[in-house]
Amino acid sequence: MAIISGSVAGVLALAVVAGALISYFGRIQVDSREPPVVHPKIPFIGHLIGMIRHGPLYFTQVSSKVKAPIFTLPVLGNRTYVCGSPALTAAIQRASATLDFDELIVHAMPRFVGLSKEAAEILKDPTATTEGSRRVVEMAHSVINPPLQPQNMEDLTMKQLKNFSDYFNGIRNDQEFKLYHMATRAVAFASMDTFYGPKNPFKLNNDLMEDFFVWETDVVPYMVGFFPSIFVRKATQALSRMGKSFEEYINNGHVKEAHALIQSRQALHEDAGISIPDQGRLEVGLSLAFNVNAGITTFWILDNIYSRPELLEEIRREVRENAITAPGTISYAKLKDSCHLLASVYRETMRINAPMNTARWVKEDIVIADTYLLRKGSVVQAAGGIMHWDPELWGEDVHSFNPRRFWGTQSGLKNPPASDQKGEGKTSQQVHAAAFRAFGGGASMCPGRFFAQMEIMSLVAVVVSGFDILPPQGKEKVDWNPARDDTKFPFAVSKPVRDIDVRFRRREGMEDLEWKLDL
Ligand code: HEM
């Protein structure tokens, strides 16, 4: 159930706190042991305006002025702590009993999908703290996480890969697409089928897919909750239509054809006394985890590879020599274990495009790293935008795409080898493991990360192996490399400012090949 990325949860948490503290107009009292305070030029709301105007870049801008590993932003009468240091981030992650993700979710989820007051109370479950029972959000981890572990996800993997294979075998020669639209919809339709079964609401009514992306695009202003039915009307209506369709899906018993994970989750919500309309909205929330980030990442990787013809040739060769086990058959196990360049491109693309902030609720006063006091009732964020783009951590080429930065390493290299070398004999250093934030970290690190890697590497492998990507008819070239949209707080992976018009052509000699993505 808990599917709110840290960036959004962080912004939202501020709005939640604002609701309670809006009447408080004084300057916050800060203890000298708290991280250094950065007072905004406009008291009370200055930082909020900065975040809305500059998106994820705001923390980076403030950080470059403060030059402290963690700092305090007073916002709306409360404080948010922003951490740009991997070592402190690791300390924050270790303190997960006090610096809690679930508490944030309990506050954020009702605004995220527009739950009723009753459902919000059930999620809060005030008796849990006094009687020691487990809250629905905690129990949801036991339902969602185990099937997504690599050793358990064979059935989900096979289903998703079959859906992808069918999709690519169905592409007509010279079919034209908008690449971002294509990648995101291909992942979303496949995922809905894999998790929710053949009678999922999006299959029964294709228009809901566009509703989904309308809501997802405006989910942050929707969550802030300032008259959403007026100011974020389209997203509010789209969410309402999706919630109703999931409600019908549950009422019609289609959940019986869903994956066991969805069935157990529905039983959990039922047992907790959550009404069916609220259950429907909670499923919209979970769909966001399945549907969005893998597609956006696939888009960025294709853009990075196809805009560099030499890299495209290298990756084609790597996949051909290591992962094609029969004509048209690509093995994910082999992609993962033997295609080091593709794996490196995957992580480097996320370093640049997934500057996630992961937020935690401070349940009690706590001192981290024996130095910094964090006060109860605040939010602390590990700022991906600071860490992913910090030259001190990654080296001077931090803002350029280096396909070999993650060659043979999950954490990445400072001063990686130049693009035509494989890294032997270089003086590169390993980057701190906590600096890579795309999937968050610690106890609530994204449980879907193994599934996401499987999806993305397989999708990219079938496209590079099977297709040339050409300009649309009448155009001379493909307009690669759109800028990243840094104006909005992303859910995780940033979007491009524009789509790319392309034409897919089956590669010579492979015109009639049937593709099979395999385990
Ligand atoms: C490129 C793709 C993806 C990215 C970048 C991504 C990123 C994230 C991040 C940053 C978080 C928050 C972690 C934290 O605060 O420490 C998260 C949470 C979550 N993600 Fe993903 N994710 C991706 C794909 C997926 C997929 C495919 C699934 C499911 C199949 C999934 C399921 C979840 C769930 C259930 C949570 C909530 C965890 C909790 O409540 O503790 N994610 N994801």
Distance 23 CA to ligand 1 centre (A): 35
- Residue whose Cα lies nearest atom 25 of ligand 1: it is 448
444 lines ligand 1 (CB under 6 A): yes
Element holding 215 (H helix, E strand): helix 207-217
Tokens encoding 335: 């992609």
Last residue of a domain, one of 373, 405, 437: 437
Q: Is 329 inside a domain boundary? A: yes
Instruction: Note down the domain range covering 183.
Output: 136-356+438-517
Q: Is 15 inside a domain boundary? A: no
Are 97 and 156 members of one domain?
Answer: no
Rg of the chain over all Cα atoms, to the nearest angstrom: 23
pLDDT recorded at residue 209: 97
Give the end-to-end CA distance of the chain in Å, rounded to a whole number: 27
Distance 24 CA to ligand 1 centre (A): 35
- From the CA of 437, give the closest atom in ligand 1: 10
Instruction: Give me the number of domains the chain comprises.
Output: 2
Are 203 and 331 members of one domain?
Answer: yes
Say how far apart CA 230 and CA 276 lie, in whole Å.
26
- From the CA of 493, give the closest atom in ligand 1: 5
3 lines ligand 1 (CB under 6 A): yes
CATH number at residue 388: 3.30.43.20
Tokens encoding 246: 């999931």
Distance 505 CA to ligand 1 centre (A): 33
Say how far apart CA 426 and CA 415 lie, in whole Å.
9
Distance 402 CA to ligand 1 centre (A): 25
- From the CA of 93, give the closest atom in ligand 1: 16
Tokens encoding 48: 């909020």
Say how far apart CA 34 and CA 36 lie, in whole Å.
6
Say how far apart CA 490 and CA 85 lie, in whole Å.
21
* pLDDT tens per residue across all 519 residues of the chain: 345 555 555 555 555 555 444 444 446 788 999 999 999 988 888 998 888 788 778 999 999 999 999 999 998 888 999 999 999 999 999 999 999 999 999 999 999 999 999 999 999 998 877 777 889 999 999 999 999 999 999 999 999 999 999 999 999 999 999 999 999 999 999 999 999 999 999 999 999 999 999 999 999 889 888 899 999 999 999 999 999 999 999 999 999 999 999 999 999 999 999 999 999 999 999 999 999 999 999 999 999 999 999 999 999 999 999 999 999 999 999 999 999 999 999 999 999 999 889 999 999 999 999 999 999 999 999 999 999 999 999 999 999 999 999 999 999 999 887 655 554 555 679 999 999 999 999 999 999 999 999 999 999 999 999 999 999 999 999 999 999 998 877 667 999 999 999 999 999 999 999 999 999
CB 139 within 8 A of CB 102: no
Tokens encoding 482: 């759109």
Distance 476 CA to ligand 1 centre (A): 39
Last residue of a domain, one of 406, 437, 468: 437
Q: Which of 4, 104, 264, 446 to mutate to test the pocket of ligand 1 (most atoms within 8 A of CB)?
A: 446
Tokens encoding 32: 């000298």
pLDDT recorded at residue 25: 46
pLDDT recorded at residue 51: 85
Amino acid (1-letter code) at residue 283: E
Beta bridge mates, 178 = 501
- From the CA of 144, give the closest atom in ligand 1: 35
CB atoms within 10 A of CB 490: 26
358 lines ligand 1 (CB under 6 A): yes
CB 78 within 8 A of CB 14: yes
> Within 13 Å of residue 171, how many CA atoms lie on the same side as its CB?
29
Residue 215, phi then psi, degrees to nearest 5 = -65, -45
CATH number at residue 493: 1.10.630.10
Helix (H, G, I), strand (E, B) or coil at 176: strand
CB atoms within 10 A of CB 477: 7
- From the CA of 359, give the closest atom in ligand 1: 15
The answer to whether the Cα torsion of 215, 285, 438, 79 is positive or negative is positive
Helix (H, G, I), strand (E, B) or coil at 294: helix
> What ipTM was assigned to the predicted interfaces of this complex?
0.99
Are 151 and 219 members of one domain?
Answer: yes
What does the DSSP assignment read for 78-111? EEEEEE--HHHHHHHHHTTTTEESHHHHHHHHHH
The beta-strand segments (E) located in 99-203 are 99-100, 175-178
440 lines ligand 1 (CB under 6 A): yes
The annotation places the binding site for heme at 446
Say how far apart CA 190 and CA 158 lie, in whole Å.
12
Are 348 and 362 members of one domain?
Answer: no
Are 50 and 176 members of one domain?
Answer: no
- Residue whose Cα lies nearest atom 16 of ligand 1: it is 440
Beta bridge mates, 505 = 468
Place of tokens 């929330």: 285
- Residue whose Cα lies nearest atom 43 of ligand 1: it is 446
Last residue of a domain, one of 437, 467, 486: 437
pLDDT recorded at residue 22: 44
Helix (H, G, I), strand (E, B) or coil at 433: helix
Q: Is 340 inside a domain boundary? A: yes
Are 146 and 108 members of one domain?
Answer: no
Q: Among 92, 135, 129, which residue's Cα sits nearest to residue 2?
A: 135
